Amino acid sequence: MKVKAKLKKGVVGVKVLAKSPMVGKEEAEKKKVDVEFITHITARVNGAVVFEASTGPFLSKNPYFQFAFTGANKGDKLDVDWVDTNGKTAKKTAKIK
Protein backbone atom coordinates (compact mmCIF):
# COMPACT_ATOMS: atom_id res chain seq x y z
CA MET A 1 0.00 0.00 0.00
CA LYS A 2 1.17 3.49 -0.82
CA VAL A 3 0.02 6.55 1.13
CA LYS A 4 0.84 10.18 0.42
CA ALA A 5 -0.47 13.11 2.46
CA LYS A 6 0.26 16.72 1.66
CA LEU A 7 -0.85 19.90 3.43
CA LYS A 8 -1.72 22.81 1.17
CA LYS A 9 -3.53 25.97 2.29
CA GLY A 10 -4.90 24.24 5.38
CA VAL A 11 -6.25 21.27 3.48
CA VAL A 12 -4.60 17.87 3.67
CA GLY A 13 -4.87 15.98 0.40
CA VAL A 14 -4.36 12.24 0.64
CA LYS A 15 -3.72 9.65 -2.02
CA VAL A 16 -3.94 5.96 -1.17
CA LEU A 17 -3.11 3.07 -3.44
CA ALA A 18 -4.10 -0.23 -1.81
CA LYS A 19 -3.06 -3.63 -3.04
CA SER A 20 -5.78 -6.16 -3.73
CA PRO A 21 -7.00 -8.07 -6.80
CA MET A 22 -10.60 -6.97 -5.93
CA VAL A 23 -12.12 -10.20 -7.23
CA GLY A 24 -15.90 -10.49 -6.74
CA LYS A 25 -17.90 -13.70 -7.01
CA GLU A 26 -18.64 -13.54 -10.76
CA GLU A 27 -15.02 -12.82 -11.62
CA ALA A 28 -13.80 -15.53 -9.23
CA GLU A 29 -16.00 -18.15 -10.91
CA LYS A 30 -14.85 -17.20 -14.36
CA LYS A 31 -11.16 -17.07 -13.59
CA LYS A 32 -11.26 -19.96 -11.10
CA VAL A 33 -9.67 -17.95 -8.35
CA ASP A 34 -10.85 -17.14 -4.84
CA VAL A 35 -12.99 -14.17 -3.94
CA GLU A 36 -10.71 -11.52 -2.54
CA PHE A 37 -11.49 -7.85 -2.16
CA ILE A 38 -11.01 -5.11 0.39
CA THR A 39 -14.17 -4.56 2.45
CA HIS A 40 -13.20 -1.64 4.64
CA ILE A 41 -10.50 0.99 4.70
CA THR A 42 -9.98 3.54 7.47
CA ALA A 43 -7.75 6.61 7.73
CA ARG A 44 -6.98 8.20 11.08
CA VAL A 45 -5.01 11.24 12.17
CA ASN A 46 -3.90 11.22 15.80
CA GLY A 47 -6.42 8.47 16.47
CA ALA A 48 -9.45 10.30 15.01
CA VAL A 49 -11.12 8.91 11.89
CA VAL A 50 -10.87 11.34 8.98
CA PHE A 51 -12.05 9.08 6.18
CA GLU A 52 -13.35 5.57 5.83
CA ALA A 53 -14.83 3.49 3.09
CA SER A 54 -16.92 0.32 3.02
CA THR A 55 -16.01 -1.19 -0.31
CA GLY A 56 -17.12 -3.85 -2.77
CA PRO A 57 -15.51 -5.78 -5.63
CA PHE A 58 -16.38 -3.19 -8.27
CA LEU A 59 -13.58 -0.89 -7.32
CA SER A 60 -10.65 -1.28 -9.68
CA LYS A 61 -7.90 -3.79 -9.04
CA ASN A 62 -5.44 -2.25 -6.57
CA PRO A 63 -7.99 0.39 -5.59
CA TYR A 64 -7.14 4.05 -5.50
CA PHE A 65 -8.62 6.62 -3.13
CA GLN A 66 -8.13 10.34 -2.98
CA PHE A 67 -9.69 12.40 -0.21
CA ALA A 68 -9.18 15.65 1.70
CA PHE A 69 -9.67 17.03 5.19
CA THR A 70 -8.74 20.01 7.34
CA GLY A 71 -7.60 20.43 10.93
CA ALA A 72 -4.26 18.64 10.78
CA ASN A 73 -0.70 19.94 10.83
CA LYS A 74 2.52 19.20 9.02
CA GLY A 75 4.26 16.27 10.64
CA ASP A 76 1.04 14.70 11.96
CA LYS A 77 0.81 11.00 11.38
CA LEU A 78 -1.82 9.56 9.10
CA ASP A 79 -2.60 5.89 9.69
CA VAL A 80 -4.37 3.96 6.94
CA ASP A 81 -5.49 0.39 7.38
CA TRP A 82 -7.73 -1.99 5.48
CA VAL A 83 -9.27 -5.42 5.88
CA ASP A 84 -10.32 -7.82 3.11
CA THR A 85 -12.79 -10.68 2.66
CA ASN A 86 -10.29 -13.18 4.07
CA GLY A 87 -9.65 -11.11 7.17
CA LYS A 88 -6.25 -10.09 5.90
CA THR A 89 -5.21 -6.64 7.05
CA ALA A 90 -2.59 -4.10 6.05
CA LYS A 91 -1.46 -0.90 7.70
CA LYS A 92 0.63 2.03 6.63
CA THR A 93 1.59 5.23 8.37
CA ALA A 94 2.53 8.39 6.48
CA LYS A 95 3.68 11.74 7.79
CA ILE A 96 1.72 14.74 6.52
CA LYS A 97 4.13 16.76 4.43
* Positions in the binding site for another protein (CB under 8 A): 11, 22-24, 26-27, 30-31, 39-40, 42, 44, 47-61, 63-72
* Minimum CB distance to another protein, residue 31 (Å): 6
Of 23 and 94, CB closest to another protein:
23
Residues paired with 92 in a beta bridge:
80
Q: In whole angstroms, how close is the CB of 91 to another protein at the nearest point?
A: 15
Q: From the CB of 43, what's the least distance to another protein, in Å?
A: 8
Nearer to another protein, 85 or 92 (CB): 85
C-beta of 92: minimal distance to another protein in Å?
17
Name the burial class of residue 92, with classes exposed (0-12), middle (13-18) and buried (19+) by CB atoms within 10 angstroms of its CB.
middle
Cβ nearer to another protein, comparing 61 with 97: 61
In order of 5, 13, 27, 81, the CA distances from 74 in angstroms are: 9, 12, 42, 21
* CA 84, chain centre distance (Å): 11
Backbone angles phi and psi of 31, in degrees to 5:
-95, 0
